[in-house]
Structure 1
Amino acid sequence: MLEYTFSIKHRGCWTEAVNVTFPDIEATIIYSYRLGSTSVTMIEATNVADPDAFVAWLSDHEVMTTAHLINYDEAQQTAFVSLAGDYDTETEPVLNVLLRNECFPTVPSTVENGWEHWSVVASSHELVSKAHKDLSELGTVEVESLKSPELDRMLTGLTEVKQAVQNLSPRQREVLGRAIDEGYYDSPRACKLAELAELDSANTSTVGEHLRRSEAKILKAVKPLLTKEANA
């Protein structure tokens, strides 16, 4: 098994040009798939000060047929946008290229400064080479790493995460579990903090404090898995 991490400046795609008009926006491609001749994509964009202008720009892009604002959090300046586009052979979605070469994303792709950042796993060098060749026909590709995943280190990290969960107090587990069940961590959120408090015996401030303490314990255990050093 190989882990292939790369960046691509996708020629003719909205990802290549978005930061020219909206320099501060960063986007995550949550999913992308082809439906007939149309590619459907859901993105989460942050630092979106004017969601209407952003969606209008996407709608007018040459490869897009429609763009719809699904949800916008004004406080966080975060927008969820659904896109539909008719790509030709020169602007084919990156995910299509990866999947047909049996390269499977391990995390959602991010878009920043005109580049799409991807991390995928594949079973052989031949598949990675073929995917890289096909991707190079879509734009400029920069390889960041090609390596065998360090499973021992990943398992160690997962053990630490499990221990962090076990270290939660019974009350923290109760509140966190309810928050997950009620969709507090969904995108977009299915419930608000005040709604969680209505299901609990404590007030909103106390429920929020239980969640913050739980999140802090778990995220501290997760952090080593996010750093470059942990993947070196």
Structure 2
Amino acid sequence: MSDVRTPIMLEYTFSIKHKGCWTETLNDAFPDVRGTIIYSYRLTGTSITMVELTCVGEEKLDELIEWLGNHPVMNTSQLVSYDDRGQKAFVSLAGDYDTDTEPVLNVLLRNNCFPTIPATVARGREHWSVLASSHEQVSTAHEELRQLGSVDVDSLRTPDLDGLLTGLTEVKEAVQSLSPRQLEVLSRAIEEGYYDSPRACNIEELAELDSANTSTVGEHLRRSEAKILKAVAPMLDRPQRMRTQQN
């Protein structure tokens, strides 16, 4: 009988100070700005990246776009859209990386390490979480990443995929259990930036966009939040249980 081994899955979470990349010096030039790398890919030798930048005041917007476009690894920087209430800018970047560095995503993908969530940029570091199917893939990717800059490993573990899928199912069911009115108010709150940091609007401003008064809008949000957070709670507790079991 052949020896059939069940493939493992590893979750590798790390941050990197990406030497020579715009992410390294973004907060030196713009201390309050926070970034999310929505996607990044190569097209005919050029790396195309879409980023979301938050805490961008309108008075600094043009300066930020110009700074990104003039960065050594970039060819162009173009504003796609801007939300002045949420101080949020979506920016498209194109670069050929004709320097001693390259996009982190290139290193990850060629080593079969696949991001699970968009990478974030804060305080001069890129924060990534990826899945890989072997320690060898993670080790090789880690060594190549060290050629790009200083790497700090946050965790390397076997994710609880069954638990994660169960948790996601429970969250989906919680969302589906919302009444049409609760879903309407919650969706509007998200769209208007009520849950942004800093908040782009308050309860009073949401009520002005609704047919209900302030207390009713607040009650709809509280009931919606309670349903969703109860579904999310077991997922938040899982890492703590895993650490306890390991100790």
TM-score scaled to structure 2, two decimals? 0.75
Specify the SS of the correspondent of 1:3.
strand
Q: Which moved more, 1:214-223 or 1:108-117?
A: 214-223
Q: How has the CA–CA distance of structure 1 residues 26 and 184 changed in structure 2, closer, same or farther, with 3 Å as cutoff?
A: closer
Q: Secondary structure of the residue that 2:150 maps to in structure 1?
A: strand
Q: Which amino acid aligns with 1:33?
A: Y
1:109 maps onto 2:116 in alignment:
no
Asked if 1 retains the 8 angstrom alpha-carbon contact of 2:27 and 2:124, the reply is yes
Q: Counterpart amino acid of 2:110?
A: R
Corresponding residue number in structure 1 for 2:143: 133
Structure 2: which amino acid aligns with 1:86? D
Equivalent position SS for 2:77: strand
* CA distance in 2: counterparts of 1:36 and 1:230, whole angstroms: 47
Question: What secondary structure is seen at the aligned counterpart in 1 of 2:11?
Answer: strand
**Residue 51 of structure 1: aligned partner:** 61
Amino acid corresponding to residue 23 of structure 1 in structure 2: P
Amino acid aligned to 1:12:
G
Gap runs ≥5 in structure 2 = 1-8, 193-205
Write out per-residue CA displacement over residues 134-185 of structure 1, whole angstroms, 9 at most, x where no aligned residue.
1111111111110000234324423542442354235435x379x59xx959
Structure 1 moving runs of 4+ over 4 Å: 202-213
| Amino acid in structure 2 at the alignment position of 1:140 | S
- Deviation per CA, 1:85-109, whole angstroms, max 9, x where unpaired? 1113621100011001000000000
Per the alignment, residue 75 of structure 1 pairs with 85
2:174 to 164, 167, 177: 164
Measured at CA, do residues 134 and 89 of structure 1 come closer, stay the same or move farther in structure 2, by a change above 3 Å?
Answer: farther
Residue in 1 that maps onto 2:34: 26
Aligned to 2:49: 41
Partner of 1:16: 24
Letter in 2 for 1:20: D
Considering only aligned residues, what root-mean-square deviation do their CA atoms show, in Å?
Answer: 3.0
What number of residue pairs does the alignment pair up?
Answer: 216
For residue 32 of structure 1, report the CA deviation from its aligned partner.
0.3
- Contact 2:18–2:149, Cα closer than 8 Å, also in 1: yes
The CA distance in 2 between the partners of 1:68 and 1:139, in whole Å, is 27
Q: Distance in 2 between matches of 1:83 and 1:98?
A: 19
- TM-score under structure 1 length normalisation: 0.80
The answer (yes or no) to whether the contact 2:73–2:99 under 8 Å persists in 1 is no
* Whole-angstrom distance in 1 between the partners of 2:105 and 2:224: 35
Structure 2 SS opposite 1:24 = coil
Q: Is 1:153 equivalent to 2:174 in the alignment?
A: no
CA contact (8 A) 1:64 1:85 kept: yes
In 2, the alpha carbon distance for the partners of 1:164 and 1:53 equals 43
Give the stretch that moved more between structures: 30-39 or 220-229.
220-229
Gaps of 5+ in 1: 186-192
Larger Rg belongs to? 2
Letter in 1 for 2:164: M
More displaced 10-residue stretch of structure 1: 216-225 or 99-108: 216-225
Q: Give the equivalent residue in structure 1 for 2:15.
A: 7
Aligned to 2:4: none
Distance 1:149 1:70 in 2: 36
